[in-house]
Structures are given as structure tokens and as C-alpha cells.
Amino acid sequence: MSKVKDNRDLYLILPNIRSAFNVGAMFRTADACGFTKLFLVGYTAVPPHPKVAKVALGAETWVPFEHRDDLSTLITELRAKDFTIAALELSAKSQALSTISFNKSTALIVGNEVDGLSLEIQDQADLVIHLPMLGKKESLNVAIAAGIAMYHLAFISAQAEISPSNPKLQLS
């Protein structure tokens, strides 16, 4: 698994994601964005799982992952390793993702499809971020929202270099 250009570790944390298909989509996107590891928390589907595999198309076999029962304990452990903890949730204290620059290892937490992230988890995060919306809906599918945030962390925040002669990410 390659790290992003500036050698930051990027982790994706999936607490209590209801749809195994969403989990599979996030494995596949995490692979595409060079995320180092996924943490599957609570009742989130854990590979091997046929619905995860159907959408992940193999990414679940090479992207490192770990199952955890408790999100709060995981946040404490990652903070001790100097990770920035970013919660993706629209709230009164959230900031637009596009206004944030991530320059160190980051753990991105995305919420449950119905309940999002609790205020307790938001309070434990270093920052709460959201994706601004122009339409009537205030949210996206969790896998879509996570994909946008992962892309931002990996490519935009890192100012990754993609050249016409080599359209793949230049890892240096």
C-alpha cells in the first residue's frame, strides 16, 4: 500500500456502517486514494463478506484493515500516535472540507447512514468537517461523501502531482 506523496498515513474509520455494499465501495475508494488502513468499528461488515467483495472488487484483500469494538478507544490510540482526527459530519461546529489543509497523518471518521456521528464522537475529534451542498438535500450517501473527503485528503490537501506523461499519482 502506497502512502500519499508527502508520506502521511491516512486512515478511514467506519463506525457502525449498516450497508456492506457501502463498506465495499469505501474499501475500493480508499485503495484508489492511497489510504493506509481502514478501521471497521462495531457492527460494520468485515471481510470476507460477499456484499463487501461485490463492490470492493478485490480491494478488501489488499487494503489493510482491522476490526474494533470501541470507537472512543481507537480515537485515543490514534491521537497518541499524533494523528489528526477528522469527523465528517454536518453540524453547528463543522467547517467546510475545502477550507482545511491536512499536513500530517489523519484519521477520517464517517458516520452511520441514518444517525451520522454522535455529538460525543464529534467532541472527541480534532475537527469536524462537512461537504457544502448546493441542492435541497443536506447529505450524500456515506460512501459518496467519504470518497469526496478521501480524494481531498489524498490529492488536493497533499497537492499531489499528476503529469500528462504519467497520469498516476507521483509518489516521491
In tens, the pLDDT along 67-114 reads 999 999 999 999 999 999 999 999 999 999 999 988 899 999 999 999
Rounded to an integer, the average pLDDT of 139-165 is 81
For residue 135, the 8-state DSSP code is S
pTM of the complete model beyond 0.85 = yes
- Domain residue spans of the chain: 10-156
Q: What is the mean pLDDT of the chain?
A: 91
Burial state string for 13-40 with b = 16 or more CB within 10 A and e = fewer than 16: bbbbbebbbbbbbbbbbbbebbbbbbbb
- Backbone dihedral angles phi then psi of residue 93, each to the nearest 5 degrees: -105, 5
pLDDT at 138: 87
pLDDT over 90, % of the chain: 82
Q: Is the pLDDT of residue 168 over 60?
A: no
Q: Is the pLDDT of residue 161 over 50?
A: no
Rounded to an integer, the average pLDDT of 3-25 is 91
pLDDT over 70, % of the chain: 88
Q: Minimal CA–CA distance to 131: which of 115, 111, 148, 114?
A: 148
Q: Would you tell me which CATH number, out of the four given (1.10.150.530, 3.40.1280.10, 3.40.50.150, 3.40.1160.10), belongs to the domain 10-156?
A: 3.40.1280.10
pLDDT at 166: 39
